[in-house]
């Protein structure tokens, strides 16, 4: 029991901290009828439905098959790395940065080993993590905190994209420049002789007698994009977009998505990280209570009102950008700098964006001797990109 508790705290540190803060705030403000208004159910319902749909896509292997098809066109080391970084950059805009990294970092490690480029795994994983975080910040559905900030601010999807487009654009240019300078034009021919299924099988589960990932158990090798499930999940993704955009009642979105997964793939319910919506709820309780403590609320509103961008970046370095968004949004309505600050705040330290830990754990689990090197390389490139994007923010402001 003790070992389970320690492991739980280690893996769900943010949830544990949020719960402690929520319980503490309940002591200051005893539960009453106002508690019912704390939870932002729009965000919770949108987040839950998107998580289910993305999990469905993951389990039929759509993202990996797309990556395998793209690799067939690769001819140089530079082209290979550009492809590997582009996958989380663009997919993060639609399926969140953490899902992009869970899917493509292990894929990239296997690909680099096949291409005899294993010495570049640390740098490529770092650039892929940057790509996922920088791409995801463009859209409301790319980051969980963007989904919340869009909902609570009332801004349209187009407005959120407009705010973040200059930063994502500059980030894309910087990634291309870095990759073009660091990686050369040496030939990579390992993938040209394989079709997408061959690449997928070689990378994902080369040993047919060994452990088989979800997508292999569900569809088997050579099953394409999961058949009818792909069409069903694509339709459900459109339903989620309509719900996020306010074109479909949220209750109807929830009913459609949950009912569909009861038919399509019930196991997906057990593979979704339900602790994330629960973490949001704990922060909602804490923030709701602290706003009712005059002394705390006065100081917080004064500070956040004056420095939303700076505090968004600074707090994210210590507690990550999702809790920072939930915390600061309770004391400011200056949404644009808050959105920019919490998105740029995902760069910097390893915990600035919790999704970044996915890449770190994936690499060091396979290469424990690279732990220190990964932290150095990751921090250096994140600081460079953060400085460049903060410079752009100052220019725009």
Alpha-carbon distance values, 378 to 5, 130, 186, 242 (Å): 30, 9, 25, 37
Q: Picking from 8-12, 49-53, 127-131, which range would have the lowest pLDDT averaged per residue?
A: 8-12
The pLDDT of residue 158 is above 80: yes
Q: CB-based contacts of 104: which residues, under 8 Å, 6+ apart? A: 63, 64, 67, 84, 87, 88, 91, 128
> Residues 108-137: pLDDT tens digits?
888 888 778 888 999 999 999 999 999 999
In a domain, 145, yes or no: yes
What are the pLDDT digits (tens) for 352-363? 888 888 898 889
CA distance 26 to 62: 44
List C-alpha distances in Å: 129 to 24, 318, 363, 368. 35, 18, 12, 18
DSSP string, 333-370: --HHHHHHHHHHTTSSSTTSSTTHHHHHHHHHHH-GGG
* Domain assignment present for 252: no
Mean pLDDT over residues 72-97, rounded?
88
Confidence of residue 43 (pLDDT cuts 50, 70, 90): confident
Is the model's pLDDT at 210 over the cut of 50? Answer: no
Is residue 265 a part of any domain in this protein?
A: no
**Residue 178 structural domain:** 61-226+274-396
Question: Do the domain assignments include residue 238?
Answer: no
Question: Is 95 contained in some domain?
Answer: yes
In a domain, 261, yes or no: no
Q: Is 344 a domain residue?
A: yes
pLDDT bin (cut points 50, 70, 90) of residue 204 is low
**Structure-token pair, residue 156:** 């349209």
Half-sphere exposure of 301 (CA within 13 A, CB side): 10
> How many domains does the structure of the chain reveal?
1
**Model-level pTM?**
0.84
Rounded alpha-carbon distances, angstroms, from residue 58 to 3, 81, 100, 215: 30, 22, 10, 7
pLDDT confidence band for 211 (50 / 70 / 90): very low
The closest of 102, 99, 100, 96 to 86, measured between CA atoms, is 100
Q: Is 209 contained in some domain? A: yes
Residue whose entry in the numeric block shows the structure tokens 């705290």: 9
């Amino acid at each position: 029991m003790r070992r389970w508790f320690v492991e739980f705290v280690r893996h769900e540190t943010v949830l544990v901290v949020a719960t402690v803060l929520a319980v503490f705030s309940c002591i200051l403000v005893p539960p009453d009828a106002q508690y019912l208004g704390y939870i932002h159910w729009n965000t919770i319902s949108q987040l839950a439905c998107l998580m289910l749909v993305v999990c469905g896509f993951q389990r039929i292997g759509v993202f990996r098959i797309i990556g395998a098809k793209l690799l067939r066109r690769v001819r140089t080391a530079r082209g290979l790395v550009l492809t590997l970084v582009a996958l989380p950059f663009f997919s993060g805009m639609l399926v969140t940065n953490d899902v992009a990294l869970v899917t493509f970092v292990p894929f990239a490690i296997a690909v680099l080993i096949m291409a005899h480029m294993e010495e570049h795994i640390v740098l490529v994983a770092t650039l892929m993590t940057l790509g996922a975080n920088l791409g995801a910040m463009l859209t409301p559905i790319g980051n969980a905190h963007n989904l919340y900030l869009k909902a609570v601010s009332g801004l349209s999807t187009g407005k959120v994209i407009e705010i973040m487009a200059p930063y994502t654009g500059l980030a894309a240019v910087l990634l291309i420049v870095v990759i073009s300078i660091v990686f050369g034009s040496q030939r990579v021919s390992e993938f040209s002789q394989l079709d997408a299924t061959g690449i997928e099988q070689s990378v994902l589960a080369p040993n047919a007698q060994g452990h088989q990932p979800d997508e292999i158990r569900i569809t088997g090798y050579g099953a394409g994009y999961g058949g009818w499930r792909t069409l069903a999940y694509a339709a459900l993704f459109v339903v989620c977009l309509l719900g996020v955009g306010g074109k479909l009642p949220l209750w109807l979105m929830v009913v459609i998505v949950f009912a569909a997964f009861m038919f399509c793939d019930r196991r997906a319910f057990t593979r979704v990280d339900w602790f994330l919506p629960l973490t949001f709820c704990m922060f909602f309780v804490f923030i709701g209570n602290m706003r009712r403590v005059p002394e705390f609320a006065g100081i917080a509103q004064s500070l956040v009102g004056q420095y939303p961008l700076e505090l968004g970046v600074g707090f994210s370095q210590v507690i990550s950008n999702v809790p920072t968004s939930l915390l600061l949004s309770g004391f400011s309505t200056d949404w644009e700098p808050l959105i920019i600050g919490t998105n740029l705040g995902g760069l910097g330290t390893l915990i600035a964006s919790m999704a970044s830990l996915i890449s770190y754990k994936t690499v060091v689990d396979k290469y424990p001797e690279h732990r220190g090197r990964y932290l150095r390389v990751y921090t250096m490139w994140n600081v460079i990109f953060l400085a460049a994007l903060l410079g752009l923010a100052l220019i725009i402001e």
